[in-house]
Amino acid sequence: MVWGEPRRGDVPGPGTSLSAVEPAVVMSTSEETLALALAIVFAALSFARTTAFRRRIGRNPWGIHPNLWLVIGFLLGPIGAFLAFVSCAATRVSSPFTSVPAPTVPAAPASPAPWATAGGPPPGWYPDPSGRHEYRFFTGQDWTADVVDNGTHFTEPLPAPPAP
């Protein structure tokens, strides 16, 4: 039987209407409230997990922004939350700059440095002379645009020196 159709034997006659058939199944207000609350909980779980992953790693799980994970969690409920957790576990975390050595701060030498007479420090990562970033790469002769903050490599030109 399809909801809204008359039952066998119910033949509308004169003075009867089709509105006397059984109504469709409807959720009660408390069931609707519970369903909405659960959808919000799963959306919050999805969003919180993917946001924490993005802050910690610096990448979105599966390339999907946490705001979209919020919508997925809301619409799919426990399946969306499960997918958010799986995406965080399955997203590969590798440095896109594998050829760039990890920045290291040179230890203070106990004796005079061998380059002290050669005119300057050897090429490597040193604290940024402008103070705007953690490290900047020095080629042995001048500073490059390569900088590192919190382990993330990017380029930003060295600011112009102040006018005398």
The H or E element spanning position 23 is none
The pLDDT assigned to 21 comes to 55
Q: Tell me the pLDDT band of 8, cut-offs 50, 70 and 90.
A: low
The average confidence (pLDDT) of the chain is: 77
Residue of 121, 118, 156 whose CA lies nearest to 139: 121
Asked if 47 contacts 69 with a C-beta cutoff of 8 angstroms, the reply is yes
Q: CB neighbours (10 Å) of residue 45?
A: 20
Q: Tell me the pLDDT band of 113, cut-offs 50, 70 and 90.
A: very low
Q: Taking residues 36-50, what's their average pLDDT?
A: 93
